[in-house]
Amino acid sequence: MRRRLTHLPSAIATLIHQCAGLIDIDTARDVGVRPERLHELARARLLVRVAEGVYTSPELLDRLDGWARHDLLARAFVVSLGPGAYLTEWSAVAAWQLPTLGPPPSEPVAVRPRSGGRSRGRGSKIAAYGRVRTHRLPAEHRRLHGRTRLVSQEWAAATVGVTSALPAALVVADAVARRGGDITSATNDMTRWPGVTRARWVAEHADPLAESPVETLGRFAAIAGGLPRPVSNAWVGVDGPEHRVDGLWPFHFAAYEADGALKYNNRPDAAVIVTREKEREWRLRRLGLDLARYDFGMAAFQRDELSARFRRLLQDNPARVTPIRWWKHVPGVGPVEPGPTDWPSPLPTTVALPPGWWRDRR
């Protein structure tokens, strides 16, 4: 009588850990583990199949939810498709660990590059564990990240711009721009894609100086409200840069600050943080700045209200001839004198949002 399996062999558990939570038949075979052994462990419920020929531990899968779970399933899916497929859209965003907004897609998405010719839009089909697109994917936008084949960060941001609401797409684009990516390089290869105008808008308005989704959403509220464009993460001070604000309108002597709940929730030093914030705000106001504060909930779900608050702030502080003293923030360097192209116009923006910018088809 065959002995009943009661625990995952340590060699298999170690291999799963070394392979970022996944084990596939080819990898197992390379270290001397027969495919039949993986099937046997799956029947004993010591492994769970998450894609064709790809397994993980049920304990790990049970611990994951939301985007972390989607990331694992997406990486398993692309492994199962073989060397000619790459994760794309939100699945690539998750694999690159870029910031996300909203729920993950219901299934992973990969692309099999179409060879030759100009881009003619996208075709897709449903596979057993996800969806497979077919379209042109230039070689320069194909990547291997660890053991995962996926599109470049620039291509991922562009495809999200095509399929998702602009605020969510802009959150991704800002992060890619902050990492030095040029999203326009991807949109140039999407000439005939439906919705490419949305991706181009996102590429044009990505801001490498925005450091978090809540800052991106605040800037988008200003754009959507037709307000003057703010400077992200600008420094202000009297004789030199003293404090950095999330968004600054230099000619209006006005700024906004995004409040994150993580600053205060479940922290023993919350009172100290609040005291420091009040002192900082007092100093900013002594510089002549008027401030608007908002949180993630307002930026994500009450955009019109946030735009209205920004509008009232600027109306109460009309543009002046001489702006407040400010410095541009350069990541890795710090505050520097702003150049001629760094100065925003004090006039309202006339940026047109693409039709249907709020639709999300992820």
Q: How many CB atoms sit inside 10 A of residue 331's CB? A: 12
Distance CA 299, CA 308 (A): 12
Tell whether 109 is covered by a domain: yes
Distance CA 25, CA 54 (A): 7
> Is there a single domain that holds both residue 107 and residue 174?
yes
What confidence score (pLDDT) does residue 291 get?
Answer: 95
Residue 280 has pLDDT above 90, yes or no: no
> Is there a single domain that holds both residue 95 and residue 55?
no
**8-state DSSP, 324:** P
Residue 119 has pLDDT above 90, yes or no: no
59 versus 125: the higher-pLDDT residue is 59
Tell whether 36 is covered by a domain: yes
Tell whether 155 is covered by a domain: yes
> Is there a single domain that holds both residue 167 and residue 58?
no
Tell whether 197 is covered by a domain: yes
> Is there a single domain that holds both residue 191 and residue 107?
yes
Tell me the mean pLDDT in the region 312-328: 97
- Give the CA distances from residue 241 to residues 160, 327, 329, in Å, rounded to whole numbers and listed in that order: 36, 7, 10
pLDDT band at 264, cuts 50/70/90? very low
Tell me the mean pLDDT in the region 209-216: 96
Query: How confident is the model over 32-74, as pLDDT tens digits?
Result: 889 999 999 999 999 999 999 999 999 999 999 999 999 999 9
CATH value at residue 244? 3.40.960.10
What confidence score (pLDDT) does residue 3 get?
Answer: 61
pLDDT band at 274, cuts 50/70/90? low
Tell whether 291 is covered by a domain: yes
Is the dihedral angle over the CA atoms 59, 60, 66, 70 positive or is it negative? negative
- Measured distance between the N- and C-terminal CA atoms of the chain, rounded to whole angstroms: 50
Distance CA 199, CA 193 (A): 10
Residue 240 sits in which domain range?
A: 213-342
Phi and psi of 233, rounded to 5°? 50, 50
Question: Residue written as tokens 């053991």?
Answer: 147
> Is there a single domain that holds both residue 243 and residue 286?
yes
Amino acid, single-letter form, for residue 163: T
> Is there a single domain that holds both residue 51 and residue 70?
no
> Is there a single domain that holds both residue 255 and residue 303?
yes
Instruction: Choose one of 205, 236, 270: the last residue of a domain.
Output: 205
> Is there a single domain that holds both residue 163 and residue 72?
yes
In sequence order, what are the residues at sequence separation of 6 or more whose Cβ sits closer than 8 angstroms to the Cβ of residue 315? none
Instruction: Choose one of 161, 189, 205: the last residue of a domain.
Output: 205
Tell whether 115 is covered by a domain: yes
What confidence score (pLDDT) does residue 351 get?
Answer: 85
Q: Under the phi-then-psi rule, with left for phi > 0, alpha for psi from -120 to 50, and beta for the rest, what region is 334?
A: left
This prediction has a pTM of: 0.89
Distance CA 61, CA 110 (A): 21
Distance CA 90, CA 226 (A): 29
Residue 16 has pLDDT above 70, yes or no: yes
Query: How confident is the model over 101-112, as pLDDT tens digits?
Result: 999 999 999 999
Phi and psi of 100, rounded to 5°? -125, 155
Tell me the mean pLDDT in the region 171-196: 95
Q: How many CB atoms sit inside 10 A of residue 225's CB? A: 18
Instruction: Choose one of 45, 63, 81: the last residue of a domain.
Output: 63
> Is there a single domain that holds both residue 59 and residue 113?
no
What confidence score (pLDDT) does residue 120 get?
Answer: 44
What confidence score (pLDDT) does residue 118 get?
Answer: 44
> Is there a single domain that holds both residue 177 and residue 217?
no
Distance CA 234, CA 329 (A): 6
Tell whether 166 is covered by a domain: yes
Q: What is the domain count for the chain?
A: 3
Q: Which helix (H) or strand (E) holds 184?
A: helix 184-187
Tell whether 107 is covered by a domain: yes
Residue 144 has pLDDT above 70, yes or no: yes
Is the dihedral angle over the CA atoms 248, 249, 254, 259 positive or is it negative? negative
pLDDT band at 2, cuts 50/70/90? low
Please give the mean pLDDT across all residues of the chain.
90
pLDDT band at 257, cuts 50/70/90? very high
> Is there a single domain that holds both residue 50 and residue 102?
no
In sequence order, what are the residues at sequence separation of 6 or more whose Cβ sits closer than 8 angstroms to the Cβ of residue 1? none
What confidence score (pLDDT) does residue 278 get?
Answer: 74
> Is there a single domain that holds both residue 76 and residue 198?
yes
